[in-house]
Structure 1
Amino acid sequence: MKKIIIGAILLGSLCHVKAQKINLGKAVGVVSKGASALTFTNEDAIKLSKESVGYMDNNNSIAGPKDPYTIRLNKLFAKHKSQDGLNLNYKVYKAKDINAFACADGSVRVFSSLMDMMTDDELLAVIGHEIGHVKNQDTKDAIKSAYLKAAVIDAASSASSTVSSLSESQVGKMANAFLDASHSKKQESQADTYSYNFMKSNKYNVVGAYTAFKKLALLSEGGSAQSGVQKMFNSHPDSNKRADFIKKLAEKDGLWKDPGAVSLPKSKLTK
């Protein structure tokens, strides 16, 4: 199983999948006029997302129903499977990497190492952010881009105006390209706002969103062991600024409570 450097929707990280690393390189810029004019519907996004997440589920270690990670996630999010008009499903990938992502079909995947470093309030904020990407249809843009890249790499469907079926190897390439996609800073900021409002409307501790970003900022500060994490933060808004944004919202709403100094936990928060 090879390690592939990817950028995820919220964090960006390292994910273990069986597919060989693909070098998108020039392929990103050679999408034909036909492909760029692709008729891409919400139904297409959902269908392709299901295929991509199915591939990723088959190629990652998933926590079982009695696993402490699954029990914890279900405790936090069981009541949010139908959230804001969305049908959501959650699973935990048992992996060393710090990551979480969502797909257009409502699939939300959380990595165990992220759960190890985040409190319950912080996890609620992180996944609330991912739900925001689905609700705002940012994930639709990401899966469309991934589909086009997979098609271009194989010189298939590049002149088509409609979505066609992909082979299993193409689905793998699309899954990797999907995880390599990044949202704009505007989309990230909108998802941050959604996360805050999600916390507020459900009467969760909104300061959890602040401390989550503070922890991500600490991860991005360097050290050779964190170089992969630091690299992915280059394409995302500054975590300290995002934390400050959350603080201002909480102060405005009278919900701010100073958490004191934020540090990374020395032991796993999921046991």
Structure 2
Amino acid sequence: MKKIISIALIATVSFCMNAQINLGKMTKAASSGVAALSFSNADAQKVAKEGVEWMDNNNEVASENDPYTIRLNRLFGKHKNEDGLPLNYKVYLVTDINAFACADGSVRVFSSLMDIMTDDELLAIIGHEIGHVKNEDSKDAVKNAYMKAAAMEAASASSNTVQVLNDSQLGELANNLLDAKHSKKQESEADDYSYDFMKKHNYNVVGAYTAFKKLALLGGGEKATSYQRMMSSHPDSEKRAQIIKSRAEKDGVWNDPGEVKLPTERITE
């Protein structure tokens, strides 16, 4: 498996293994007039779908019989429609440690994230990503990614028309989607959604706590540069873990997991 990089050899996010995510040629920055573009939920879903399809076609996706896919289906198979949102999900065989969800309901989980997270931790992380979609954070991220990829001028922005992107622009869109950052407020709201998702489905909410503890541990060592770049807009992972603990204690569902460590071997599929 390979690392997620752009054609221009610019690293984009924090995780991958040995599949190569080609993220396209960088285009010029969008003009300030782009802000005038009208961008509906339907536009966000269409553009996101095109961007994710481009990534799927240009990267190594785990097959239906791959242990990673089997594990994800086992964990998440019953959530193909969650909270009114139709979902589709796949695993990218990459060394980066990440997961993302887009406005069209596409959920992509990176194999190296699955290597270090337990089932409950993965459910909490995916629930968090779904929260971004349900809260329409992903709509804003898609709009910004699209504007940069299209490099639109003020005239085309004022037309309120979402234009068709060429292959190079789709690569740039993918790059921008993966590099999208949410505000700390949006991250906190997605954390709340994840906790509620876990509780609603009778999953172990302590998995959200231990997931954040592991993310905090990833802040050091050789993964620090890419991880810290991705997490720069996020609330502190240790603080997020403590918020989960406080909620679980209040709800009477806290069960102390003891010391949380990163696994030294890949977690069994």
TM-score > 0.5 by shorter chain = yes
Unaligned runs of 5+ in 1: none
| Counterpart residue number, 1:125 | 124
Following TM superposition, by how much is the alpha carbon of 1:156 offset from its aligned partner in structure 2, in angstroms?
9.2
> How far apart, CA to CA, are the structure 2 residues paired with 1:215 and 1:254?
23
- Secondary structure of the structure 1 residue equivalent to 2:233: coil
Q: Per-residue displacement from partner, 1:226-256 (whole Å, max 9, x unpaired)?
A: 3221332222211001101101110110011
Question: Structure 1 residues 13, 172: closer, same or farther in 2, change over 3 A?
Answer: same
Following TM superposition, by how much is the alpha carbon of 1:32 offset from its aligned partner in structure 2, in angstroms?
3.0
* Amino acid in structure 1 at the alignment position of 2:233: S
Identity %: 62
Contact 1:76 1:124 in 2 (8 A): yes
> How far apart, CA to CA, are the structure 1 residues paired with 2:252 and 2:237?
22
Following TM superposition, by how much is the alpha carbon of 1:20 offset from its aligned partner in structure 2, in angstroms?
4.0
| Counterpart residue number, 2:22 | 18
Following TM superposition, by how much is the alpha carbon of 1:171 offset from its aligned partner in structure 2, in angstroms?
1.1
Q: Per-residue displacement from partner, 1:11-31 (whole Å, max 9, x unpaired)?
A: x5458322445276xx2xx52
TM-score relative to the length of structure 1: 0.90
> How far apart, CA to CA, are the structure 1 residues paired with 2:216 and 2:114?
16
- Secondary structure of the structure 2 residue equivalent to 1:96: strand
Residue 5 (str. 1) matches residue 11 (str. 2): yes
> How far apart, CA to CA, are the structure 2 residues paired with 1:71 and 1:88?
17
Question: Structure 1 residues 226, 23: closer, same or farther in 2, change over 3 A?
Answer: farther
Question: Structure 1 residues 99, 43: closer, same or farther in 2, change over 3 A?
Answer: same
Contact 1:151 1:157 in 2 (8 A): no
> How far apart, CA to CA, are the structure 2 residues paired with 1:269 and 1:49?
31
* Amino acid in structure 1 at the alignment position of 2:31: V
> How far apart, CA to CA, are the structure 1 residues paired with 2:23 and 2:210?
35
| Counterpart residue number, 2:44 | 45
- Secondary structure of the structure 1 residue equivalent to 2:151: helix
Contact 1:69 1:270 in 2 (8 A): no
- Equivalent runs, 1:169-180 vs 2, <5 Å: 169-180=168-179
> How far apart, CA to CA, are the structure 1 residues paired with 2:217 and 2:245?
17
Following TM superposition, by how much is the alpha carbon of 1:175 offset from its aligned partner in structure 2, in angstroms?
1.2
Residue 111 (str. 1) matches residue 101 (str. 2): no
- Secondary structure of the structure 2 residue equivalent to 1:165: coil
* Amino acid in structure 2 at the alignment position of 1:16: Q
Question: Structure 1 residues 32, 233: closer, same or farther in 2, change over 3 A?
Answer: closer
Question: Structure 1 residues 65, 156: closer, same or farther in 2, change over 3 A?
Answer: farther
> How far apart, CA to CA, are the structure 2 residues paired with 1:178 and 1:216?
21
| Counterpart residue number, 2:260 | 262
> How far apart, CA to CA, are the structure 1 residues paired with 2:222 and 2:191?
29
Report which stretch shifted further, 207-216 or 166-175. Answer: 166-175
> How far apart, CA to CA, are the structure 2 residues paired with 1:132 and 1:45?
16
Q: Per-residue displacement from partner, 1:146-199 (whole Å, max 9, x unpaired)?
A: 011112279994554321111111111111111111011111000000000000
Superposed CA RMSD in Å reads 2.1
Question: Structure 1 residues 155, 62: closer, same or farther in 2, change over 3 A?
Answer: farther
- Equivalent runs, 1:177-196 vs 2, <5 Å: 177-196=176-195
Question: Structure 1 residues 125, 225: closer, same or farther in 2, change over 3 A?
Answer: closer
Contact 2:23 2:174 in 1 (8 A): no
Following TM superposition, by how much is the alpha carbon of 1:143 offset from its aligned partner in structure 2, in angstroms?
0.3
- Secondary structure of the structure 1 residue equivalent to 2:11: strand
| Counterpart residue number, 2:225 | 227
Unaligned runs of 5+ in 2: none
- Secondary structure of the structure 2 residue equivalent to 1:17: coil
> How far apart, CA to CA, are the structure 2 residues paired with 1:225 and 1:124?
23
Count matched residues.
Answer: 261
* Amino acid in structure 1 at the alignment position of 2:94: A
Contact 2:91 2:111 in 1 (8 A): yes
Question: Structure 1 residues 154, 19: closer, same or farther in 2, change over 3 A?
Answer: farther
Report which stretch shifted further, 56-65 or 107-116. Answer: 56-65
> How far apart, CA to CA, are the structure 1 residues paired with 2:15 and 2:155?
29
